[in-house]
Amino acid sequence: MTDPVAMDAQLRKIGNYKFENFEVMPLFDVYIEVIADPKVVADWAFSGWDGGDIGHTWLIKACTQDKPCQ
């Protein structure tokens, strides 16, 4: 295509199609591993996935004594 208006229209059609028919194909899994120091953390009900958020950190219960909690 050499006509800039026609080329713009065609590219917009392609872009709109790709946007509306977007699919996710995972290529690999990344597992989360957590290590907690028992001198600092008494309990932590980790949900298993954080989804890129830090919301699971509100579930941490701190150790409030001098000796390790566990």
CB 59 within 8 A of CB 50: no
Domain count, the chain: 1
69, part of any domain: no
Domain holding 11, by residue range, is 4-62
Task: Confirm whether 36 is domain-assigned.
Answer: yes
Residue 70 within a domain: no
Query: How does pLDDT run across 10-65, given as a tens digit for each residue?
Result: 999 999 998 888 777 778 777 777 787 878 888 888 776 666 666 677 788 888 77
SS (H, E, C) the chain: CCCHHHHHHHHHHHHHHHHHCCCCCCCCCCCCCCCCCCCCEEEECCCCCCCCCCHHHHHEEECCCCCCCC
In a domain, 49, yes or no: yes
- pTM beyond 0.75: the answer is no
